[in-house]
A = this chain, B = another copy of it.
């Protein structure tokens, strides 16, 4: 079972994230939970979210990068769902041993994520927060899928990224049944 937690604040404006989602959403055993559809008022149901997590062996966090990290509702999901005693701390072993895949899209031109570019850093400088959130909860951090310059790579580029994404998940399914 794969749980794909999807967080796009403006789904109708989504191009790259939607293309990635559409490339994988019909895979067998994959459940998509789109947070901004489920919780437009930010009133997350932690128990329901934990039940979804409990059923999954692979957890995917898929979102566009906003201000160098996860959109606010996914951040709130981290805070409210991954609680002490559930995801970390005493007795907090619910996610131990699950795989975790981060799928992120960035919008600007490719050279914006450079020390001299507008974002002042390589993209990797912004990865530790999400990665360590996963690791602190005892998951296995898989190599992330980061699609840069999503507004610039065109339909063919997005199709190629979508196909690569689907292949990765299909391989995971084939291995983990």
Give the interface of A toward B (CB within 8 A).
9, 41-42, 66-73, 75-76, 78-79, 82, 118-121, 125-126, 128-129, 132-133, 135-136
Contacts and interface: CB of A to CB of B under 8 A. Distances in A.
Of A71, A132, A133, the most chain B CB neighbours within 10 A belong to A132
Copies in the assembly, this chain:
2
Given A67-B129, A69-B129, A73-B76, 10 more contacts: A41-B42, A66-B78, A67-B78, A68-B128, A68-B132, A68-B133, A69-B69, A72-B72, A72-B75, A129-B129
Contact of A72 (B79, B126, B132, B133): B79
Give the 3 A-B CB pairs with smallest separation, nearest first. A72-B76, A68-B129, A42-B42
Contacts of A41: 41-42
Of A71, A72, A118, the most chain B CB neighbours within 10 A belong to A72
